[in-house]
């Protein structure tokens, strides 16, 4: 029997299009990351108010650290600022990524173990899917504390996971927003939730 769920328990967010947004506004590409912080906070508050219990957010991947140094510095700083603010607002933050790398922000190392009691936020920082799966050699995923995803929302028009939590994403519904992430509007997420209500949650059954 096919069932529909009114609200996803766990939503993943891929906030893409920051550099394209900046270029389209005549700004240096690295300016787009700072412009993505306020939308992230607005989306966090929406998830809290709607009663979603867990969210996962793509910060940056190990592949992203091949970009020019000014961009790396900008997205690292934006990730630290976002993390600090959601902790201040009561999030139970877990940062998932390779903390042994110099690209991992020192300020986030304490959050490699979940801290806090509120809505669970899993923040992927210096993350790579191969790094995650490599943990299986020692008996468990490196993202073992992240639950299975119900819904993934991606901004920027891309129709791909880009290595986003491959194990937890196996049965996730995937919703694409064509607008760039800094152009976030609340209706983007409302549209995703309304669309999710209409999807059959069979989990392969």
6 — pLDDT class (breaks 50, 70, 90): confident
Span of 48-52, 106-110, 125-129, 200-204 with lowest mean pLDDT: 200-204
**Interval 149-185: pLDDT, tens:** 999 999 999 999 999 999 999 999 999 999 999 999 9
Angle ∠(118,138,149) on CA atoms, nearest 5 = 40
How would DSSP label each residue in 149-182? PSEEEE-SS--S-TTS-TTTTTT-EEEE--S-GG
Give the span between the Cα atoms of 2 and 157, in whole angstroms: 29
Q: Taking 60 as the threshold, does the pLDDT of residue 1 lie above it?
A: no
14 Ramachandran zone, left/alpha/beta (phi>0; psi -120 to 50): beta
Please list the residues that pair with 174 across neighbouring strands.
152
Q: How many CB atoms lie within 10 A of CB 80?
A: 16
Q: If DSSP codes are grouped into helix, strand and coil, which group holds residue 60?
A: strand
Give the span between the Cα atoms of 199 and 6, in whole angstroms: 10
Closest of 73, 134, 82 to residue 108, by C-alpha? 82
Token pair belonging to 193 = 């939730």
Residue 112 C-alpha from the chain's centroid: 15
What integer pLDDT is reported at residue 3 of this predicted model? 57
**Interval 186-196: pLDDT, tens:** 999 999 999 99
Give the span between the Cα atoms of 66 and 126, in whole angstroms: 11
Share of the chain above pLDDT 70, in %: 96
Give the span between the Cα atoms of 177 and 63, in whole angstroms: 23
Q: Taking 60 as the threshold, does the pLDDT of residue 25 lie above it?
A: yes
Percent helix, strand, coil in the chain (nearest 5)? 40, 15, 45
**Interval 112-124: pLDDT, tens:** 999 999 999 999 9
Q: If DSSP codes are grouped into helix, strand and coil, which group holds residue 55?
A: strand
pTM for the full predicted model: 0.95
Q: Taking 80 as the threshold, does the pLDDT of residue 204 lie above it?
A: no
H or E, element range at 121:
strand 120-127
Q: Taking 60 as the threshold, does the pLDDT of residue 2 lie above it?
A: no
């Amino acid at each position: 029997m096919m069932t529909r769920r009114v609200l996803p328990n766990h939503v993943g967010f891929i906030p893409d299009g920051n550099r394209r947004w900046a270029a389209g506004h005549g700004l240096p590409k690295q300016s787009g990351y700072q412009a993505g912080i306020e939308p992230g906070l607005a989306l966090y508050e929406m998830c809290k108010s709607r009663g979603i219990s867990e969210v996962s957010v793509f910060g940056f991947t190990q592949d992203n650290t091949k970009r020019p140094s000014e961009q790396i510095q900008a997205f690292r700083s934006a990730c630290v600022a976002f993390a600090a603010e959601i902790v201040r607002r009561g999030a139970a933050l877990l940062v998932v990524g390779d903390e042994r790398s110099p690209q991992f922000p020192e300020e986030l190392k304490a959050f490699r173990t979940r801290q806090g009691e509120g809505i669970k936020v899993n923040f992927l920082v210096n993350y790579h899917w191969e790094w995650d799966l490599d943990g299986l050699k020692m008996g468990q995923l490196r993202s073992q504390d992240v639950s299975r995803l119900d819904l993934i929302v991606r901004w920027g028009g891309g129709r791909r996971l880009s290595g986003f939590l491959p194990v937890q994403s196996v049965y996730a519904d995937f919703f694409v927003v064509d607008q760039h992430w800094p152009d976030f509007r609340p209706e983007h997420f409302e549209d995703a939730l309304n669309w999710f209500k209409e999807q059959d949650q069979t989990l392969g059954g």
